Amino acid sequence: MNLPHFYPVFDSAAWVARAMPLGVKLVQLRIKDAPEDVLRDEITIALDLCRQHGAQLVVNDHWQLAIELGVDWLHLGQEDLDTADIPAIRRAGMKLGLSTHDHAELERALALAPDYIALGPVYPTILKKMKWTEQGLDRLTEWKARIGDIPLCAIGGMSVARAPGAFAAGADMVAAVTDITLNADPEARMREWLEVTA
């Protein structure tokens, strides 16, 4: 399966709206704490934007809403896996991406035959407090050897400058969050990302 190499992760449909005109083809909507009606509206807007631009939307965590709204992709963290109805997700025809941070989590993920596997944080990240230290590029290489043809996503502290190293180490795609959202010119930064991942 050929997925775009650049994979931005945003916390609102407004960010998706900024990314789409630039040519972004794969984007994750990750909204952690919001009422269900807000989540439904945000996912609906983001999905419409992606469809208008021929892009793929990945919804983080909210699998019931994703099924209800006809989203094609779902991303689950390890905690989300504890409560998600994987058979229902598969029956809905959704593709599934899974987060991993250690060998046990990788084994758990592989048992579910995911459509991509994410490894992180590759570098120190300011996005959220994590119990894992940075994984490093060698771990990307190890993970790619383990998972074979399953696409591997590098996430955590990723930047335009670090992307080539992640690809060289075995990543098929690179996810970026704060490198874009905290940039003084996010649109220009996304263009740089699209160039370095073309």
The predicted structure's pLDDT at residue 53: 98
- Give the E-state strand segments of 30-122 in sequence order: 56-60, 73-76, 95-100, 116-119
For residue range 46-100, what is the model confidence (pLDDT) as tens digits? 999 999 999 999 999 999 999 999 999 999 999 999 999 999 999 999 999 999 9
Whether the pLDDT of residue 145 is over 70: the answer is yes
In-domain check, residue 120: yes
Does the residue 74 lie in any domain?
yes
> Rounded to the nearest 10 degrees, how much is the dihedral formed by the CA atoms of 154, 158, 160, 166?
-40
Question: Over pLDDT 70: what percentage of the chain?
Answer: 96
Task: Look at strands 95-100 and 73-76 and give their pairing.
Answer: parallel
Q: Mapping DSSP to helix (H, G, I), strand (E, B) and coil, where does residue 50 land?
A: helix
What is the pLDDT at residue 83? 95
Whether residue 54 lies inside any domain: the answer is yes
The number of domains in the chain is 1
Residue 1, domain member (yes or no): no
45 is a domain residue: yes
* pLDDT tens by residue, 111-134: 999 999 999 999 987 765 666 778
CATH number at residue 70: 3.20.20.70
Q: Domain of residue 52: give its range.
A: 6-196
